Structure 1
Amino acid sequence: MDPKDQPGPEIMFDSKQGAALSESAADTAECPAHAPADHPKIPREKVGILLANLGTPDNYDYWSMRRYLGEFLSDKRVIDYSPWIWQPLLQLIILTKRPFSSGEAYKSIWNHEAGESPLMTITKDQTRKIRETMQAAYGDNVVVDYCMRYGNPSTKAKVRALVDQGCRKILFFPLYPQYSGATSATANDHFFRALMEEKWQPEVRTVPAYFDHPNYVEALAASVKRGYDALENKPDMLVCSYHGVPQRYLTEGDPYHCQCVKTTRLLKEKLGWDDTQITTTFQSRFGPEEWLQPYTVEEVARLAERGKKRIAVIAPAFSADCIETLEEINEEIRESFEEAGGEEFTYIPCLNDDDQHVAALSDVIRANLRGWLE
């Protein structure tokens, strides 16, 4: 039901929220029918689409890195050790040293012109293109924005902004093709926590993993073809490197490993390849326990030692290039391959704001808007 058609006594609305309305929302805000003249105005009802990515530090200096890493590594979905053991280690040792090395890594990939990380730049570009696509389909009935799980802009701030603009329905879209508790689930958790602070909660939906969506697989295959076509010598192997998680997550019910393996299989089938041309690996191992294997940094060295002198690496678990792709893959993993005798290393960028990728994400969004917008 449209808010203006609801009887006044049934409407719960905080006058402080009314004061915080954006200029565009205030222009279309109305007092509900049959309500007293002094009732706060309510903006016209819209549907919000909130894209969510992992996050980024505000800068690469020590304190910016410490704040970002402290938030990230304090997330129990990411590090699920007992806080009695983990927090002293984190606060007294890790956050004393790691901001320096992580800051240097971020500095090496930083978008200095824009004053932000590449992940931020790419997410803004993705959001702009998806906004244009959604508004072409649904007009001003939709509001498209983005947030970060860690750092800024926060999920809480963007939920508040969407509600202020009259979004009585919000579709929350974690930009992770494969589901994991450490990525999609923690993004959803944070979204739900933000909703807990809303007096008039919007109706919400969350977008599930989209790793097997045909248009996503097609976009992934097209990026590989473009990468290979640009090379004089074709790679001997395509390494699909996914962000790792502890091995025990698999036995505890997390579907991430299975979805990663299936992503590689679907990509292989779309390309018309066989198992000798493509493989699955996992990167970004952290801590002492066993993680999903094979580890990318070790596997690329083994490939070189076995005579695979030319390889290409792609990162299908990332919707946008970030520190794990631009620095870890393009530097640490490349170095491991070359030191083992590898000769030609090619990194195929993430799908980023590629038009085919944006079209695939937009198709996923439209499917999840059914019943809300047609």
Structure 2
Amino acid sequence: MKARAAIKSGVLMAQLGTPASVEVTDVRSYLREFLSDPYMVRANRLVWKLVLHFLVLPRYAKKSAARYRLIWTSQGSPLQVISAAQAQNIAERLRFSDEVPVAYGMRYGQPSLEEGVRALLAAECRRVLLFPLFPQYSSAINPSVEEVVADAVKACDKEVELKVAKPFYDSPAYIDALAQSLNEFLASLPDQPQALVLSYHSLPEAFVRNRDPYCSMCAQTTALLLPRLDFPADQVRHCYQSRFGFAKWIGPYTDHTIKSLAASGVRRIAVACPGFVADCIESLYELGVGAREMFLQAGGRTFDLAPCFNLHVSWLDALEAMIRAELELEMYV
């Protein structure tokens, strides 16, 4: 017998965000929203506003737009296209067996999280599961997502229960999906890499000093993944990318690691991003273009970038299982 809640449930899958287009004005608008979030940038608000509008945006908007052009697809932003497809796939799975509507939204950019909430309320959902698509929790983004969704729920004129899914950095389903997708990728390569680089998004050290659990969760993900990989653990490097500004961020840094590997005589590496569930600017450009070029210029010969989960069936199975567990729904095979 199917397990059904007395109140209709809906799922809101949350991603970070992406510009609406590669036009400089759209990229600038996206960066303004992103870098204006006090959870993301912790500085004197007046001083930071001046720095952002007169130094950061004029310098980085055009540069970022050029980078997005290199990864943009005919359908639009890779992150937006993949996130929409992930949500559609999960919606079909849940609609078939339990009639649970699914929406998705971006914290920065479109479609917004508020739009996702409105879509679920229009479908008569009175219980909303917010499922952030970030395996590891960070105070830089998770509270911001939760606050926006909570405010959107409060703004409606209906009584709605909001539940936030727990981080899934150590979920067996997530680790299984990581191991399966990475092992398949490694097995597909013509030559085994001499090193495997696991690159996570970095975070300012000040956040960690304030007891942000993100770094610890990343380390636990890697520790759980290593025994499951068909690859020597002593040839795996755990590091962090995407640092910004002049503050010290958690390391070791991915770019330094890649240069060091090349300098030590390593000529073939593979790189994967366990913290990203969909390909985005950080994976496709920062690693796929920037890090690749850096490695080859330093003497490397082969740089193989593993795709993020995207629509890999192991990830979709894991995502469905984790959502069903949060909603206390049965799994159907």
TM-score with structure 2 setting the length: 0.94
For residue 59 of structure 2, what is the aligned residue in structure 1?
A: 97
Q: Is the 8 A contact 2:84 2:104 kept in 1?
A: yes
Superposed displacement of residue 137, structure 1:
2.3
Counterpart mapping for 1:196-235 below 5 A? 196-235=154-193
Superposed displacement of residue 372, structure 1:
11
Q: What residue identity is the alignment partner of 1:144?
A: V
Partners of 2:230 and 2:284 in 1: how far apart? Answer: 28
Q: Is the 8 A contact 1:72 1:150 kept in 2?
A: yes
Q: Is the 8 A contact 1:298 1:336 kept in 2?
A: no
SS state at 1:336 partner: helix
Superposed displacement of residue 136, structure 1:
2.3
Counterpart mapping for 1:1-374 below 5 A? 46-112=8-74, 114=75, 116-138=76-98, 140=99, 142-271=100-229, 273-370=231-328
Partners of 2:273 and 2:35 in 1: how far apart? Answer: 22
For residue 33 of structure 1, what is the aligned residue in structure 2?
A: none
Q: Deviations over 1:78-99 (max 9, x none)?
A: 1111112211010112112311
Q: What residue identity is the alignment partner of 1:325?
A: S
Partners of 1:167 and 1:304 in 2: how far apart? Answer: 54
Q: State the aligned residue count.
A: 327
Q: RMSD value over aligned CA atoms?
A: 1.8
Q: What residue identity is the alignment partner of 2:159?
A: Q
Superposed displacement of residue 309, structure 1:
1.4
Q: What residue identity is the alignment partner of 1:302?
A: S
Q: Is the 8 A contact 1:240 1:278 kept in 2?
A: yes
Partners of 1:46 and 1:234 in 2: how far apart? Answer: 49
Q: What residue identity is the alignment partner of 1:86?
A: W
Superposed displacement of residue 315, structure 1:
0.5
State the structure with bigger RCO (CA 8 A, min sep 6), 1 or 2: 2
Misfit runs of 4+, over 6 Å: 371-374
Q: What residue identity is the alignment partner of 1:134?
A: L
Q: Is the 8 A contact 1:244 1:284 kept in 2?
A: yes
Q: What residue identity is the alignment partner of 1:95?
A: L
Relative to structure 1, is the Cα distance of residues 373 and 168 closer, same or farther in structure 2, using a 3 angstrom cutoff? Answer: farther
For residue 7 of structure 1, what is the aligned residue in structure 2?
A: none
For residue 24 of structure 1, what is the aligned residue in structure 2?
A: none
Superposed displacement of residue 373, structure 1:
11
Superposed displacement of residue 274, structure 1:
4.7
Superposed displacement of residue 203, structure 1:
0.6
SS state at 1:280 partner: strand
**Ranges in structure 1 where 5+ consecutive residues have no aligned partner:** 1-43
Partners of 1:236 and 1:266 in 2: how far apart? Answer: 21
Superposed displacement of residue 130, structure 1:
0.5
Q: Deviations over 1:231-269 (max 9, x none)?
A: 121001111100011012112111100111111111101
TM-score with structure 1 setting the length: 0.84
Relative to structure 1, is the Cα distance of residues 231 and 371 closer, same or farther in structure 2, using a 3 angstrom cutoff? Answer: closer
SS state at 2:325 partner: helix
Q: What residue identity is the alignment partner of 2:291?
A: I
Partners of 1:244 and 1:335 in 2: how far apart? Answer: 20
Q: Deviations over 1:302-336 (max 9, x none)?
A: 01111221110000111100001000001111112
Superposed displacement of residue 47, structure 1:
1.2
SS state at 1:196 partner: helix
Partners of 2:273 and 2:194 in 1: how far apart? Answer: 17
Partners of 1:95 and 1:143 in 2: how far apart? Answer: 38
Superposed displacement of residue 183, structure 1:
2.5
Q: Deviations over 1:142-195 (max 9, x none)?
A: 111111100111111221221122111000101001111123222112111212
Q: Is the 8 A contact 1:46 1:143 kept in 2?
A: no
Partners of 1:227 and 1:372 in 2: how far apart? Answer: 31
Q: Is the 8 A contact 1:236 1:308 kept in 2?
A: yes
Relative to structure 1, is the Cα distance of residues 373 and 281 closer, same or farther in structure 2, using a 3 angstrom cutoff? Answer: closer
**Ranges in structure 2 where 5+ consecutive residues have no aligned partner:** 1-5
